[in-house]
């Protein structure tokens, strides 16, 4: 039995893992001074008995053989929500090894692994090139203690572990001497913007401004690591990061796209095939990004749908398509540009010229606001319900037109002017949303609810035309003559000019006919799930047959 499996019973909590890290050498003076946060964990762990020598030796043997038993245990001991909020999604060996191979071929004198987790990249460098200096950084003290243990076991010539927030580091904290070439290698913590604290977002915005590039508070933590790298790196440094591929196309990824072309020195992007489950516990398509600081005007190579086995070849510059920098600067989405490298983006009329495109209503708690008709009657709140589309499948199956059905859920659409005390049944139900449930969640305290005044007023969207937001296919469009509500699983289209029902039927037919040509503009997630943000959908070319409906003031 592999040691990762055999030792699983040994680790009942994070302190157990830290105790094992101490037994492997994390408490030694090597690797740089420990912080107070690390020392606090060490003190707790030292109250536990040392592991039997046989288990410690087995753990050390597994580490030398390329396994990561302590890192696997750390991941297992954190639930999904904790891992999502901290970006604890460690990189599989199948990607670590080719990335390290490419990095070592660039001959860096120092390799920095920011957001190192258990130190998988630093450890792989230490095994392959013990003479290359490594610096591993992470803000999780348990992770840095594990990384210390791993590197102490491998004993490269020069290694340092820093328990620190990478976004707050300065150049004088990098052990660079002279014209030393530094390699930036790793997996920036994948934390989407809604999981990032306000303070971290503000810090990230400051980092982005240091790079002289635009950003906003909706950039994920992993994207901000690219910006921070630019502020710390020097000309000639090289890098290879693996993260979610969403930045190639979505709005918040604009920071990385700008950096890739202007300053970071991006040379290539390798997007793993969407059906490959790259990271445990998170469904996203992975992309490997290569850069050489100081390279600006060179063409860029982008490869899509690459099997993991083919990654070494693509990192070496084989395969994919080479795209002129100017083409990427003008492209609405880089995935579409890579699929159509020689096409010129059509800057003619767009869907947004004819329609106002908006996302459906975000309730913050569909379990509370979306009820079956029978449950709403029992609760005495059915009179406030709006029949609503809550599944993308309903739009896809509608064949171009949505009709009201008795099985549709209803969403509470309570008038803002209503005094809740005047309706005892409604007041009683709203009070249940103001109390903690079994998981300790309070509907009225949610981020969406806090933006509303009062928290229970939704103003359910009921657009005349709807489109799917996420699906494993191009967008599907449907008329909405019964004025059904839509949640944020759908997008609404409202004509900017008066249109008859017949004209809207013509518009929906034309949009559905054109939908296959829109597929390449989507942001693609794990499992080939395609997402069209309202902004993306609005920017898509308007079918030629609909140009006659455009407002007279529209010119292109």
- DSSP secondary structure letter of residue 137: E
Q: Round to whole Å and give the CA distance between 260 and 300.
A: 9
Domain boundary among the residues 187, 219, 241 is at 187
Q: What kind and span of H or E run contains 243?
A: strand 238-244
Confidence (pLDDT) at 55: 93
* Phi and psi at residue 108, to the nearest 5°: -75, 150
- DSSP secondary structure letter of residue 395: H
Asked if residues 287 and 314 have their Cβ atoms less than 8 Å apart, the reply is no
Q: Note whether residue 290 is domain-resident.
A: no
Exposure class string for 349-376: b at 16+ Cβ within 10 A, else e: bbbbbbbebbbbbebbbbebbbbeeeeb
**Could you write out the DSSP letters of every residue in 45-105?**
HHTSPPPPHHHHHHHHHHHHTT--HHHHHHHHTS-HHHHHHHT--PPPHHHHHHHHHHHHH
Hey, which residues does 306 pair with through a beta bridge?
A: 272
Q: Round to whole Å and give the CA distance between 373 and 371.
A: 6
- DSSP secondary structure letter of residue 23: I
Total structural domains in the chain?
2
Q: Backbone dihedral region of 156: left (phi > 0), alpha (psi from -120 to 50 degrees) or beta?
A: beta
Hey, which residues does 291 pair with through a beta bridge?
A: 239, 266
Neighbours of 50 (CB within 10 A): 13
Asked if residues 466 and 402 have their Cβ atoms less than 8 Å apart, the reply is yes
Confidence (pLDDT) at 462: 95
Hey, which residues does 300 pair with through a beta bridge?
A: 323
Q: Round to whole Å and give the CA distance between 162 and 138.
A: 7
Which residues are CB-neighbours of 172 under 8 A, at least 6 positions away?
none
Hey, which residues does 286 pair with through a beta bridge?
A: 244
Q: What kind and span of H or E run contains 150?
A: helix 141-154
Q: Note whether residue 407 is domain-resident.
A: yes
Q: Note whether residue 206 is domain-resident.
A: no
Q: Round to whole Å and give the CA distance between 320 and 317.
A: 8
93 closest CA partner among 136, 131, 128: 128
Provide the domain limits for residue 439: 351-549
Q: Note whether residue 101 is domain-resident.
A: yes
Q: Round to whole Å and give the CA distance between 250 and 470.
A: 13
Q: Note whether residue 210 is domain-resident.
A: no
Asked if residues 327 and 341 have their Cβ atoms less than 8 Å apart, the reply is yes
Q: Note whether residue 488 is domain-resident.
A: yes
* Residue that has been written with the tokens 């630019």 in this structure: 230
β-pairing, 133-138 with 110-114? parallel
Hey, which residues does 111 pair with through a beta bridge?
A: 134, 183
CATH number of the domain encompassing residue 449: 3.90.220.20
Q: Note whether residue 300 is domain-resident.
A: no
Q: What kind and span of H or E run contains 392?
A: helix 392-396
Asked if residues 400 and 477 have their Cβ atoms less than 8 Å apart, the reply is yes
Q: Is 427 helix (H, G, I), strand (E, B) or coil?
A: helix
Domain boundary among the residues 187, 207, 237 is at 187
Its pTM surpasses 0.85: no
Neighbours of 319 (CB within 10 A): 14
Confidence (pLDDT) at 6: 45
How many Cα atoms occupy the beta-carbon half-sphere of 181 within 13 Å?
A: 16
Domain boundary among the residues 135, 161, 187 is at 187
Asked if residues 35 and 163 have their Cβ atoms less than 8 Å apart, the reply is yes
Q: Is 512 helix (H, G, I), strand (E, B) or coil?
A: helix
CATH number of the domain encompassing residue 44: 3.40.50
Residue 75, token pair as written in the block: 């991941």
Q: Backbone dihedral region of 395: left (phi > 0), alpha (psi from -120 to 50 degrees) or beta?
A: alpha
* Phi and psi at residue 239, to the nearest 5°: -155, 155
Q: What is the pLDDT along the chain (556 residues), one digit of tens a residue?
A: 344 454 555 788 999 999 999 999 998 878 888 999 999 999 999 999 999 999 999 999 999 999 999 999 988 887 666 666 565 678 889 999 999 999 999 999 999 999 999 999 999 999 999 999 999 999 999 999 999 999 999 999 899 999 999 988 988 888 888 889 999 999 988 765 555 566 666 666 666 666 655 555 566 677 888 989 998 999 999 999 999 888 888 777 788 888 899 889 999 999 998 776 566 656 678 899 999 998 877 789 999 989 999 999 999 999 899 988 888 888 877 888 888 776 655 568 999 999 999 999 999 999 999 999 999 999 999 999 999 999 999 999 999 999 999 999 999 999 999 999 999 999 999 999 998 866 667 899 988 899 899 999 999 999 999 999 988 888 999 999 999 999 999 999 999 999 999 999 999 999 999 999 887 777 776 666 778 889 889 988 999 999 999 887 654 4
Distances (CA, A) of 236 to 46, 136, 291, 435: 44, 20, 10, 57
Q: Note whether residue 414 is domain-resident.
A: yes
105 closest CA partner among 305, 290, 308, 229: 290
The sheet that has 485-486: what strands, in order across it? 370-371, 410-412, 385-389, 485-486
């Amino acid at each position: 039995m592999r040691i990762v499996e055999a030792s699983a019973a040994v680790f009942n909590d994070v302190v157990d893992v830290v105790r094992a890290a101490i037994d492997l050498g994390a408490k030694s003076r090597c690797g740089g001074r420990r912080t107070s946060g690390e020392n606090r964990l060490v003190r707790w762990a030292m109250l536990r008995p040392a592991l039997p020598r046989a288990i410690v030796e087995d753990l050390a043997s597994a580490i030398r053989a390329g396994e990561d038993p302590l890192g696997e245990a750390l991941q297992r001991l954190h639930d999904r929500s904790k891992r999502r909020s901290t970006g604890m999604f460690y990189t599989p060996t199948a990607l670590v090894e080719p990335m390290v191979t490419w990095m070592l071929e660039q001959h860096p004198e120092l390799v920095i692994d920011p957001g190192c987790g258990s130190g998988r990249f630093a450890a792989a460098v230490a095994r392959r090139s013990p003479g290359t200096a490594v610096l591993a950084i992470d803000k999780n003290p348990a992770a840095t203690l594990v990384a210390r243990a791993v590197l102490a076991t491998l004993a490269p010539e020069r290694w340092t572990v820093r328990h620190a927030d990478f976004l707050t580091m300065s150049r004088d904290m990098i052990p660079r001497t002279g014209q030393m070439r530094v390699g930036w290698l790793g997996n920036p913590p994948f934390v989407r913007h809604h999981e990032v604290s306000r303070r971290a977002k503000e810090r990230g915005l400051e980092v982005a401004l240091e790079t002289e590039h635009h950003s906003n508070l909706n950039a994920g933590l992993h994207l901000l690591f690219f910006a921070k790298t630019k502020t710390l790196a020097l000309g000639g440094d090289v890098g290879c990061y693996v993260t979610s591929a969403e930045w190639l196309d979505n709005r918040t990824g604009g920071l990385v796209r700008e950096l890739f072309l202007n300053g970071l020195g991006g040379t290539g992007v390798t997007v793993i095939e969407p059906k490959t489950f790259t990271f445990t516990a998170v469904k996203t398509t992975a992309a490997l990004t290569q850069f050489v600081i100081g390279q600006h005007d060179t063409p860029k190579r982008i490869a899509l749908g690459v099997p993991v086995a083919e990654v070494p070849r693509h990192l070496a510059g084989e395969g994919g398509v080479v795209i002129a920098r100017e083409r990427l600067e003008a492209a609405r989405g880089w995935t579409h540009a890579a699929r159509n490298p020689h096409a010129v983006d059509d800057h003619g009329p767009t869907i947004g010229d004819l329609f106002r495109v908006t996302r459906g209503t975000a309730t913050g708690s569909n379990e509370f606001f979306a009820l079956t008709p029978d449950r709403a009657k029992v609760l005495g709140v059915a009179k406030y319900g709006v029949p609503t589309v809550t599944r993308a499948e309903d739009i896809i199956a509608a064949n171009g037109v949505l009709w009201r059905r008795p099985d549709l859920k209803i969403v509470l659409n309570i008038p803002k002017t209503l005094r809740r005390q005047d309706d005892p049944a409604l007041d009683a139900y709203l009070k249940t949303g103001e109390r903690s449930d079994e998981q300790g969640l309070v509907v009225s305290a949610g981020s969406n609810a806090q933006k509303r005044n009062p928290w229970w007023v939704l103003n359910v969207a009921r657009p005349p035309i709807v489109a799917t937001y996420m699906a494993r296919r191009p967008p599907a469009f449907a008329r909405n003559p019964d004025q059904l509500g839509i949640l944020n699983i759908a997008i609404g289209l409202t004509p900017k000019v008066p249109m008859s029902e017949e004209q809207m039927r013509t518009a929906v037919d034309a949009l559905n006919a054109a939908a296959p040509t829109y597929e390449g503009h989507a942001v693609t997630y794990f499992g080939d799930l395609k997402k069209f943000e309202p902004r993306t959908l609005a920017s898509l070319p308007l079918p030629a047959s609909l140009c006659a409906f455009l407002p007279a003031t529209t010119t292109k």
